[in-house]
Every structure is written in C-alpha cells, then in structure tokens.
Structure 1
Amino acid sequence: MYSFSAHALKIILSLFGRLKIYNKDKMPRSGGSVIACTHTGWVDILWLGISILPIQIHYMAKKELFQTPFLKWLMRNLNAFPVDRENPGPSTIKVPKKLLKENKVVGIFPSGTRTSEEVPLKRGAVTIAASSKVPIIPVAYHGPNNFKDLFKRFKPKIIYGDPIYLPEDMPKKEGMEVMMKDLNDTLKELQNELKNK
C-alpha cells in the first residue's frame, strides 16, 4: 500500500511542479535513522516521503488522526503510528525504538505542529535517536503548504543535512543537549540555504 500510494502521489504532485532534491546522498544507505523535517503544512509530509523513495518512512503522528475508521486505516497503511502529544510517556518511544532496531526510518516533525513561524523544537526526535543510538537526519522543505498553494506553481524543494550523532565523549544528558542545538541550528541553516536556491 505504501509503495503504491507514494508512487501514485509522486505522479499526481509532479503535475504541479517537479520536486528538487538536494544532498540526498547524506542519507545513510543502511541502518535505522530518525528524519527530523521542518513542518509548514500537510504537503511537506507527502513530498518528504516521495523524496526518499524507495526507502519507506514510518511517521510519528498525533493520535487524533487515528480516531475515525477511515483515517485510522489510511494512517496505518501509510506506515504512521499514533502518539499522544499532550501526555507523552515512556510508551511514546516504544514503537519508534522497535522500528529503528529493525533498521527502519522514523519520520518526526520536531516543531510538533505545522507552522511557518520559528518555534522551539520538541525533544522527541533527539530522545528517540539518542536512546536508539541512531543518527538524526535534518531535512528542510520549502514549497507549497496546502492544496491551494499547489496551483501557484510554487516549486517544492527539499534539502538533506549531515547526520547528527550523539557525542560519545560526554554524558548522555549533555550529549542530547548538543544534539538539540545542532538540530536547531542545522534546520535553520538548511531553510535559509533552500530559500537561496
């Protein structure tokens, strides 16, 4: 279902403008990893999944998207899993840790919400990556944010950054703070770089 849907979406969305992908070679060729992408609208979710084909992304999504039978079926078939953003607990990282142990890719939007404003990043991506000993791949998107924007011929662009690893030469707590800063700084740099391309 995922592969078919992604390729079908690629054809449909390409009618509105071809996706430009930069530095995809920075994505590790094997092993699990956490993709942390900027999030300004629902379209970036689709383009991110398309940009990384044939690799499949397992998206962390708010539990509210699983409340109706159809949406629940759709989200499951698109490799999404629910998370309670209001009351995160130890069980929140159980599913992504299992996926990463199976060498899969987990997609997280660290802003936690769709916004074009600068907001503090949530710690989920760093916590999961550090606990699973896998890298975070920072990714920035610039382009249409919603269905209406697609008709403006606003060409979508995605850029991948260098993997961010938990430093091995310091305590884990301090290392996670370094990862948070690196992720925040890198996403800002990638967004600015995309705007000038």
Structure 2
Amino acid sequence: MKLSERMINSLLRTFFRLFFRIDRSELAKVPQAGPLLMMVNHTSNLEGPMLYAFLQPRPLHAIAKQELWEHKFMAYLMNTWKSIPVDRQNMGRSTMDACFKVLDEQHILAIAPEGTRSKDGCLQEGKGGVAFIAHKKDVPMIPVVVMGFNSFSKNIKRLKRTVITIKVGEVFEIIQKGGRIDGDTRQALADEIMLRLAMLMPNERRGHYKDHPISFTLTKTVKA
C-alpha cells in the first residue's frame, strides 16, 4: 500500500471516529479470504469509504457512479481506492470486466444492488445487473446493511455524533450453476438478494420489500 493511500485511510478512520459512533463488531462476520460479492444498501456516499477503511487489510473495491470521476479530488480518491466507474443507465462490458477481475483476484467487490441512493433510507427495488454479475461469477455473497448516515447532516449542526448501525447477514450463494438466465430470472434473483438485506432491517425500513414474502428459491445460505 502506498504512503498516500495509508495517509488517506488514516484520515478516513479518524473522521469516522470523530463524527460517528460505529459498532463495528458485525464486520467480524465478513470472510477474511476468497472472492466475495458484498451487497450493501445505499443511503449515503459514506458507506463505501467506511467499509473500505474498517475492513482493511482485506482488499475491497466498490462500483461507483462515473460522475464522481468528473471532479479532480473525488477522481483521485476513487482511483486511490481502485473503485470501478459505472454508467448507471448502461453497465457496459468494461465495467463487467473490471468487476470480474476483482473477483478473480480473490478480493471483495461491494455493490449497491438498488443501483442508486435511497433518499429516505428505505430499500428500493433491486436491479437485474447485479444478478448478472452474481450468476456469471458464481462466488459467495454477503448482505451488509448500514443505517444512520441519513441523520448526519442534522446531527452535525447540533455538534452531535451520529450513531451508525451495521448488520451483516449470512453468506449465501446461487443454487443454479452455469447456463444462462433470462430477464425475469435476473429480476427474481435481484429480489432475493434484496430480501437478504431486508431481513437485517426493521420493517419500516424495508421499503419496496416491506410486504414482500420472505422466500428463497434461487439462493441458499452457505453453512460455516
């Protein structure tokens, strides 16, 4: 790791410790070796940096909207963290190849299966693109829920630290191996991934999946 990267990461950890109260005990559930797709809910631009900083030395790469590279400082950070730019309207081949490379290198690939940030902190419908990556690479997945960042702007005005809750679910994998899946199956798989996140959240935060029956036919929990 380069000196500049170590300095940025140290500043990040200091920032999170100063302005937030984070119980990181759940992160111990994240496997320490092997390729892993980390499915994370998305309410803020801070989830990725926090997970990146506190999961070290485990290498983590995140998919991020390509607009972040339009600003020099953010582009520098994204490149330092080896993030993968994505066009949210069209996940192209170069993005897919970059994702596959991360997994081939036995690292963590963090994805927000909702595709865009939730303004109210509730879950949105999952996107089929994440299901394509999951099916294509056939690697273990883990659901991670982060709650609390949407209160940061209000709390900082009151000089109050924001409480961040992290919940990590069980590792799971796709049942059907190989072959091709159609659009309907991709969406059904995306929904199952989102349900794994929903199970870690209070009912009022489940949003699109609040009244969705909890049933898994395309994925199964991996026994430790």
Shorter-chain TM-score: which interval? 0.7 to 0.9
Partner letter of residue 125 of structure 1?
A: V
Query: Which of 8, 13, 20 is the equivalent residue of 2:11?
Result: 8
In the alignment, is the contact (CA less than 8 A) between 1:125 and 1:136 conserved in 2?
Answer: no
Gaps of 5+ in 2: 206-224
The equivalences for 1:106-145 within 5 A come to 106-115=109-118, 116-145=121-150
Partner letter of residue 78 of structure 1?
A: W
TM-score by length of 1: 0.84
Gaps of 5+ in 1: none
Deviation at 1:132? Answer: 1.4
Gap change, CA 1:134 and 1:147, over 3 Å in 2: same
Q: Distance in 2 between matches of 1:16 and 1:121?
A: 30
Partner letter of residue 62 of structure 1?
A: K
Among the aligned pairs, what percent are the same residue?
A: 27
> 2:194 aligned with 1:191, yes or no?
no
> 2:110 aligned with 1:102, yes or no?
no
Secondary structure of 2:68 counterpart? helix
Query: Which of 161, 164, 177 is the equivalent residue of 2:169?
Result: 161
CA RMSD in angstroms comes to: 2.6
Deviation at 1:41? Answer: 1.2
Q: 1:173 maps to which residue?
A: 181
Q: Distance in 1 between matches of 2:53 and 2:153?
A: 20
Q: Distance in 2 between matches of 1:176 and 1:86?
A: 17
In the alignment, is the contact (CA less than 8 A) between 1:48 and 1:158 conserved in 2?
Answer: no
TM-score by length of 2: 0.75
Q: What is the count of residue pairs matched by the alignment?
A: 194
In the alignment, is the contact (CA less than 8 A) between 1:165 and 1:179 conserved in 2?
Answer: no
In the alignment, is the contact (CA less than 8 A) between 1:164 and 1:179 conserved in 2?
Answer: no
Q: 4+ residue runs of structure 1 moved beyond 6 angstroms?
A: none
In the alignment, is the contact (CA less than 8 A) between 1:159 and 1:190 conserved in 2?
Answer: yes
Q: Distance in 1 between matches of 2:173 and 2:87?
A: 26
- Cα-to-partner distance string for 1:122-151 (whole Å, 9 max, x where unaligned): 123322122112112110001123752452
- Cα-to-partner distance string for 1:132-174 (whole Å, 9 max, x where unaligned): 1211211000112375245242311111111121114796528
Gap change, CA 1:29 and 1:156, over 3 Å in 2: same
